[in-house]
Amino acid sequence: MSHRIIVDVMGADNGSGVVIRGAVAGARRSGASLLLVGNRTVIQNELEDLKTKGLDIQIEHADTVIQMNDPPGTVMKEKNDCSMAVAVRLLKEGRGDALVSCGNTGALFTCSSLVLRRIRGVRRAVLAAVVPLDNAFVICDAGANTEATPEMLVQFATMGSIYAKDLLGYANPRVALLNNGSEENKGTEVQQKAFDMLRQSRLNFIGNCEGRDLPADFCDVVVCDGFIGNIALKTIEGMGKLVGRVLERIFKKNPITMIGYLFTRRSTNAVRKQLDHTEYGGAPFLGINGVVIKAHGSAKEKSVTAAVRQAVNCCEMRLVEKISEEIAALRTDGEGNDQQKG
């Protein structure tokens, strides 16, 4: 059965055109239908220039946009008619099976949590970003919650493991806690308690992970609060960009080094592509009652395409149902078993 993916085409750094073109390509590759949300005229103009024959594309008009620097709360108040809020409500009403947005992360998180609600038993939803280095791994939380309790971290690990297993195909994902040292007594009280709880869990917990372990195929799921996850993820992105500049410097130094480039072009470009974060797909919010994918604000066409395909995969893998089952099991085990906060 074809899935319908709702795409918020507004609020991306590179404009609506990139998002629309990426979404159409994603629909074509995955066989999905689309429901594009944003300024109708802009969308129609863009679609006229594209091959859309055979595709099922609907449009829902929304005129206002939530900006990157708007406080997240405005999406539910002053700007609750913005394309993002409209898109989330359409998902709630069942007009689509999943949602992709390149907009303001905090606003998307707030709006999704409040409109779609969290899965029963989930304290806080989490942004699960995949970092495709030598070993692709999931950062949970990549930026949704600036602080996290040990109980939240255990839930992040649980949800991240399901994602790593079903979407990345790891049979028994290795879970590690991002910490300031490898020894078990490292970090603040939060990390120390989380370490104990993770060790006692049914997860494949392999211990603490340091920043330098991240690019070294150390684990498949990295658990941390969203502040730390944001710093780690963006530092990796920034260093990836530096590698691009470094390669330029190596090869463009003089005519001799440029000859070197001719001999290594293919492998050089493969590496550059692997480390370019704008090539990444999107990151789902796990723990929400619905599939919501946050694509990068500065996403290129290709990454929107990847995000649409990811949305389809999440639907096919029944991600929401699986998380619901695992969180229920966690509660039966007594882990993270206290009342859910509003």
Using CB under 8 A, list all residues that contact its own copies: 68-69, 71, 133-134, 143, 146-147, 178, 180-181, 183, 185, 187-188, 210-216, 226-228, 230-243, 245-246, 249-251, 253, 256-257, 259-264, 267-268, 271, 275
**Gap between the Cα atoms of 132 and 271, Å rounded:** 11
CA-wise closest residue to 25 among 315, 313, 302, 316? 302
> Please, where are the H alpha helices in 70-149?
83-92, 105-115
* Nearer to its own copies among residue 33 and residue 74 (C-beta): 74
Tokens describing residue 158:
């649980």
**Residue 160 near residue 148, CB atoms below 8 Å:** no
Q: How far is the CB of 108 from its own copies (least distance, A)?
A: 14
Cα–Cα distance measured from residue 304 to residue 337, given in angstroms and rounded to the nearest whole number: 37
Q: Is the peptide bond before 141 cis (omega within 30 degrees of 0)?
A: yes
Q: SS3 for 161?
A: helix
Comparison of 1 and 262: residue with beta carbon closer to its own copies = 262
CB of 127 to its own copies, least distance (A): 11
Please state the closest distance from residue 297 (CB atom) to its own copies, in A.
Answer: 11
Q: At closest approach, how far in Å is the CB of 135 from its own copies? A: 11
Backbone angles phi, psi at 174, to 5 degrees: -80, 125
> Smallest distance, Å, CB 178 to its own copies?
7
63 vs 10: CA distance, rounded Å: 9
Nearer to its own copies, 213 or 279 (CB): 213
Q: Which is nearer to its own copies, 92 or 272 (CB)?
A: 272
Nearer to its own copies, 20 or 176 (CB): 176
